[in-house]
Amino acid sequence: MAGKKTPNTAHILLMSHSPAESWRRGEQLEAVGWHVVQAADSVAALSAAKGQRVDLALLHLPVDDMVAMDLPNVLRSVCPAEYLPVIILADNPAEQHRCRFLDSGADDVISLSTSADEAVARIRAMLRIKRLHDQLATSRLALEESLDRERRLMGKLRRENDHLQILVTTDPLTRVQNRRSLLDLLEHEFKIARRYGQSLSLLCLDVDHFKVVNDSHGHPSGDYVLKELAVILTRAVRDSDVVARTGGEEFCVLLPKAGREQAAQFAERIRTEICNRKFIVHGETIHVTASLGAATWPADAEITEPEMLYYFGDQALLVAKESGRDRVVAACELDPAVRNRLRRQYEAAPAAPEEPIPCPSALEPI
């Protein structure tokens, strides 16, 4: 008596050119509880494998039919299942015939004389292998979906990290580097310059009487001037140079591989362009000038570390402002006694506390 079929009942495709053998084998398989899909020829078998659920194919083939040798692989190519085991049922096949079937893609070969119990046992063994294949395919699919989700998440995290990096290192008003980023880049470039014996220069710039611009024209106009100044600085230097806003109206330009003379040329070019530029805001013309200080390693012998390059450039800037503004002063132009005093003051000053990294959501224009 046929066993009770459940949703997990195996579906066996049975193909036989013999109606009597097809009926007999079908009875045996259904008695175990399997669902049998009958096919009278290879065309019907291919149609069933393509359009119905098939867990295993049992094909009754003549041993001398060479065309039928390719049938197992053709069935697998049209079957939507990940793996379709195929057992060949042959009329007492000799060893050479069994080997030919196996080499052609069959998973097992049984003869008509094989007992029903052994045939069922072999089918059960192939179905166990089939279940393992299906479980592996399901696990692989789940893993691929998990990896795909992880890749999408990593891509999103990279984009968010890049955005956060921009927020942390960029001045939000002018879109150039901020002071923290400049100091990090200064330390990096100083190490490179010292390792390869290259020059490194730094320009410190301050807009003269910028408070007058804000008081006379309003802060939005002052912000416009600052943004245009950042554009002037960026266009005046090389792609390898770094422009940073380090204070309200203060900027710095880091010049890798630039000695004193080249730094002086850059500084004078910047000063001239700012002086000649007319900033027009809401029909009003705003004119500003800038003072610049320059320092160079290793030409300025007092400088022995990155922060000292910034310190000497800033001190040269103060001298430029005190001596009339709208000019460039290099650290080497300072009196030797003044440079020695500045070096001693720098060395005696306590180390600055580590600045906390600001929360990106709380970043405000400098």
Active site amino acids: 249
For residues 263 and 328, what is the distance between their CA atoms, to the nearest angstrom?
A: 10
According to DSSP, residue 177 is labeled B
Q: For residue 272, what are its two tokens?
A: 């001239």
Q: Tell me which residue of 211, 214, 207, 209 sits closest to 230, measured CA to CA.
A: 207
Task: Spell out where the chain has E strands.
Answer: 11-15, 35-39, 56-60, 86-90, 108-111, 200-207, 242-245, 250-256, 279-281, 284-286, 290-297, 328-330
**Cα atoms in the Cβ-side hemisphere of radius 13 Å centred on 268:** 7
Contacts for 134 with CB less than 8 Å, ≥ 6 apart? 81, 82, 83
3-state secondary structure of 10: coil
Q: How far apart, in Å, are the Cα atoms of 328 and each of 93, 269, 293, 297, 338?
A: 101, 10, 6, 18, 17
Contacts for 300 with CB less than 8 Å, ≥ 6 apart? 309, 312, 331, 332, 339
Adjacent-strand bridge partners of 12: 36, 56
Q: Tell me which residue of 186, 184, 194 sits closest to 298, measured CA to CA.
A: 194
Q: How far apart, in Å, are the Cα atoms of 294 and each of 82, 122, 186, 202, 230?
A: 72, 88, 14, 6, 18
